[in-house]
Amino acid sequence: MTPGEGVHLVRDEGLAWQQVGDESVVLDLRSSLYYSGNAPGTVLWSRLVEGATTEQLVEALTAEFDVEPGRARADVLAFLEELRARGLLEGG
């Protein structure tokens, strides 16, 4: 399996999140840090709560926003890398 394949899922323990309008706020209860997400980040986060493949995330971005598939894939991969680096993501 190459990076970016498989189902990505947000960590199911120690996270609380709320959508406020088209933005999201995530609280990591383990580290007491919070993160905020813009509209595209919120679209991706909401899919990751249920579990999604990279391709499903790319499709979600291109369906919601005027973005080329190649750019959407690069943004999704960067977003996943950031979440993984912060310990917020499982799977993939």
Is 37 domain-assigned? Answer: yes
**pLDDT score recorded for residue 38:** 95
Is 1 domain-assigned? Answer: no
pTM: 0.88
Is 50 domain-assigned? Answer: yes
Per the listing, tokens 């680096």 go with 85
What are residue 23's DSSP bridge partners? Answer: 20
Is 68 domain-assigned? Answer: yes
Q: Which domain holds residue 63?
A: 13-86
Euclidean distance between CA atoms 24 and 49, whole angstroms: 12
Question: Are the C-beta atoms of residues 54 and 4 closer than 8 Å to each other?
Answer: yes
Residue 91 is encoded by which pair of tokens? 């799977």
Is 6 domain-assigned? Answer: no
Judged against a pLDDT cut of 70, whether residue 4 lies above it is answered with no
Confidence grade of residue 91 (pLDDT, cut at 50, 70, 90)? confident
Q: In this predicted model, what pLDDT tens digit does every residue of 21-78 receive, in sequence order? A: 999 999 999 999 999 999 999 999 999 999 999 999 999 999 999 999 999 999 999 9
| Count of domains for the chain | 1
Is 3 domain-assigned? Answer: no
DSSP state of 57: H
Is 44 domain-assigned? Answer: yes
